[in-house]
Every structure is written in C-alpha cells, then in structure tokens.
Amino acid sequence: MKSNELRKHFFIFIIFVAAVSFVLVTLPFIEPILRQYVVGFFGATDGRMGETAGSLFDTLLKVIKILIWMGLIFAVVRFFNSLITRTILRNTGSSELTTLLRNVISIVIFVVSFTIIVKSQFDTDLTTFFAGSTILAVVIGLALQDTLGNLFAGIAMQADQPFQVGDVVNIPNKGTGTVENVSWRGVKIRTFQNKIVLISNAVLGKEAIEVAPRDNLNARLVFFNTLYSVSPARTVHLIREVVRQVENVSPKIRPIVRIRNLGDNGIDWEIKYWLEDYTKYNDTDALIRMRVWYAFQREDIHFAFPTRTLYIENQSLEPNFEESASEIFERLSDVPLFAPLTDEETRKLARASEAKIFSPNELIVRKGDEGGSMFVIHHGSVKVQIMENGFPKTINTLSEGDFFGEMGLFTGEPRSANVAAAEETEVLEIKQAALKPLFDANPELVEALSKTIAERRALLAQKNTENNQTTEEESKGIFNSIKSFFGLS
Ligand code: CMP
C-alpha cells in the first residue's frame, strides 16, 4: 500500500475514534435529560407506565453503549492489524502465516472485551456463562471439530513455521508444488502441472513433509550410465564441466559426479548439483540429461544398454586398456635402463609384462609391502610419496617411460615409499621371473639399476633425514645385495 493511502486510512480512523469518544463523553450528560423526557412522556397519564418506559430506556442505552464500545475496539484492532501488515511485515515472506496469528489474537481481544463491557453494563459475568454451559460447549465443540482442528494445527504450524510462501513442498500422496498461501484452514499449493491443491492443516500436521526452502541452495540427483570400457576419470571430468554450464545450476557449489553402482549393464552414475531456483528442477534435470547426451556424442562415449549380447560385442572396445604387444615393445625399447637389451630380449620382456590401469590418486605401490615386481609408466604419471605428520608428501614425480618399484624387487626389501597415480595412469608390470634371465646375460643392467636406486635412496634419505651414507657407498652396497638376491656370481 502506498503511503498516502495509509495516511488516508489513518485520518478516517482518527475521525471515527474522535466521533465515538465524543458520543461516549457526552452520553452521561444527555442520558438523564432524555430519560426524564421519556418517563415524562409515557408517565403523563399513568405513573407505572412511565417507570417501565424508563427501565426499557436504560436497557436500550446499555445495549447502545455496548455496541459503541465494540465498534471502537473493532476499529482499533483493525487499524493496528493493517498497520502491522503494511509496514512491519511488508518485506517478510511470512505474512500469510502471520495473518493466521493476527486473526486469532483479534478474536481473543473481541471476546475478552465483549465480556468486560457486558459485565460493566449489566453486571453479568459471561465467563460463568461460557464455563457453565457444558452442553452448549459439547454441541459447539462437535460442530466445529474439523474447523477447530484445522485452526489449532494452523496455530501449531505458525509457531513452528516449517515452510513459507514460495517454498517447494512434497506431501506424500498429495503432490509436489510451490506454497501459494497459508491460512487458518489449510495450505494452498500450486503443482508443477499448474493445478491448485488445498490441504487442510489437520491433514498436513500428520504428514511427513519434504520442504525445499525458497532461500536455500537445494540439491538434486540425476542418474545416467556408461559402458565399462569408458574411463571413469574421463567421465567425471567431462560431465562435471557439462553440468556447470547448464542454466540454473548454482555456480556456488561444484557439482559432484560419482559412481553409484557397478551394475549389470555398465557403470551407474549420479550427478549431484545445486539449483538457483528449485521450482525449475524438472527443466534443469532435463537440460542436464540432454547436455550429457550431446557431450557423449562429441566424445564418442556410450550409454550402457541393458543387454548381455552388447557386452560380448563390446569386448572389442577393451583394447582401450589392453595394449598390443608391439606398443608395449616400443615403450620398453624407449626405457634407458633396458637400452643394453637386444630386440629379442625386449620383445620377451614385453610379452611377460602386464598392462594395468589406475585412477587418479590410486595407490599402485604401498610403503612396507613386499615387492615382487617393478613398473614402467606407459601412459600418465605417478607421485612418489612419503608420510609426513600422517599426511602423504610428494618427493618426486615420474612420467611416461620412467620406472619404479625396482628397489623392492631387486633388493628384496619392503617397498620404500608409496607410489600413487597422479592422473589416470597405465603401467606395465614386470615380474621378477621375467627379469632374472636378462640380468644373467647383461651385468651392465645391474650396474645401471644400482645407480638409479642409490640416487633415489639418497633423495629418500634426505627427505626422511635418517640415512647419512654417501651415494657411492650406497651404490656399492646395493650392487652386492642385488647380486645376492638374484644369486648372481
Ligand atoms: P620400491 O621401494 O620397490 O617401492 C617404492 C618405489 O618408489 C621405489 O621402489 C622406487 O622405485 C620409487 N622411489 C623411491 N624413492 C624415489 C625417489 N626419490 N625418486 C623416484 N622414485 C623413488
């Protein structure tokens, strides 16, 4: 309401109050004159008739006074009601809920005032009337059972304020929609099919209601699936970026893309994202699904189909990770450590090595474990880590063509550090049995290896600040322990 309209209401209210007050103040002065006139008029012929007319006049006047007082109280209550609505509650979302409370308070004021005014005029205590008439109370109570139930449930809700106008609520078996109005009778909800659902407060009080507050960042889950041959790390990265760009997805919280289940047909995924405007969650969910489809088309990623035949057919897609022997041969040929080997020896080594894939941050080698094999990085990179104050600390990073795990394998000691994939990483695992004949034939291999191990140990020692042996001494010691471990002369 505009301020000049409020001012107009205020003037009407002041004039009304002034007029009523004037009547109430002047009434005691006019009353005896009027009474005298009435008694005189009717008692001119018969004195008893004049008395009766006098007492009837008294009663009428009392009723008029009660009406005037009630009118005054009604005006005051209404004025303050509208004042509160227009000013204090104008900017709060809870005005509909507060209307209920204001109505209840107004009714209580009217009843109490009426009781006091009647008592002052007729000397009759209405409280005894209300309390005493048990049968009346029972009759009224039964008649108003539902109405009162709704009213009290409404009052309880008002105290609790579980939701407000504009919130999205889901009421079991009744539907989901936006709260449009809360009254003493019930709640009005506009569903997403643009229908109105009215639910009484009494029914509402018995249900478990799910509320998505209007001024809250509410989250949603959207599901999809991929074939087992699609890399999870790639899927997470791709879908997260896709979801971030969808309209109405809140930029304040990064969407989460995670594996829900390893299902019969493929990997089951869920996307958790937060909405700016929750009332549009259906459209946003749909848009996300659509964008996922397009992203999959671009990246040649496939949804999982519920058929076993498809799984068998898709075995041909597996070579994503199952590298052919020639690719492995090329990789091993590039490793400087294996440079002294002949092509035939390298080919043998390639056949004996096994390609394994690891997700980002997954441990490939754990400190303290027994080391029965070494690894060559085929794709990706790894972090060599030691523990510092209970947290992993990266001391070195190795990339494609580098090797690790040689210390445990060649010295027989437990693994000296953790090695974790820095990104999605594919490694070639080579077991001791495949290496032994090569060491017999190529003693220079042992020497090169000893050097690498010594350098790495020195760095480890420096980081651990334990070992104070020199690198050269180390190298000699390692050389001997490799020879003895492999039983070389
Ligand atoms: P191993 O001890 O078998 O297991 C952990 C591996 O981490 C270790 O073999 C080396 O291959 C590797 N490693 C240890 N320290 C370093 C380092 N300083 N630089 C590079 N790699 C290392």
Strands, DSSP E only, in 167-226? 168-171, 175-182, 186-191, 196-200, 210-212, 218-226
Percent pLDDT > 70 in the chain is: 82
Half-sphere exposure of 487 (CA within 13 A, CB side): 5
Instruction: Tell me what the pLDDT averaged over the chain comes to.
Output: 83
122-167: pLDDT as tens digits: 777 666 666 656 666 677 667 666 667 777 776 676 666 788 889 9
The answer for residues whose C-beta is within 8 angstroms of residue 357's C-beta and 6 or more apart is 231, 321, 424, 425, 426
What pLDDT is attached to residue 315? Answer: 52
Q: Which of 74-88, 383-397, 440-454 has the lowest mean pLDDT?
A: 74-88
Ligand 1, residue 395: give the atom nearest the CA.
Answer: 18
Q: What pLDDT score was predicted for residue 321?
A: 45
* Whole-number Å distance between alpha carbons of 397 and 56: 108
150 CA to middle of ligand 1, Å?
A: 73
Residue reference for tokens 């549009």: 280
Percent helix, strand, coil in the chain (nearest 5)?
55, 20, 25
The pLDDT value recorded for residue 158 is: 65
Is residue 358 over pLDDT 70?
Answer: yes
User: What's the rounded Cα separation, in Å, for the pair 71 and 232?
Assistant: 75
Ligand 1 mean position to 403 CA, how many Å? 9
Q: 282: burial class by Cβ within 10 Å (0-12, 13-18, 19+)? A: exposed
Between the CA of 408 and the centroid of ligand 1 the distance, in Å, is 8
Backbone angles phi, psi at 462, to 5 degrees: -60, -40
Cα 413 to ligand 1 centroid, rounded to whole Å: 12
Atom of ligand 1 nearest to the CA of 403: 11
pLDDT mean over 449-467: 82
Work out the angle at residue 317's Cα, subtended by the Cα atoms of residues 316 and 322, and round it to the nearest 5 degrees: 90
**Ligand 1 site residues, Cβ closer than 6 angstroms:** 365, 371, 384, 395-396, 404-409, 415-417, 419, 456, 459-460
- Which protein residue's CA is at the shortest distance from atom 16 of ligand 1? 456
Crossing angle for the helix pair 443-464 and 471-486, to the nearest 10 degrees: 130
Per DSSP bridges, beta strands 196-200 and 267-275 are: unpaired
Q: Which of 335, 377, 384 has most ligand 1 atoms within 8 Å of its beta carbon, as the pocket-test mutant?
A: 384
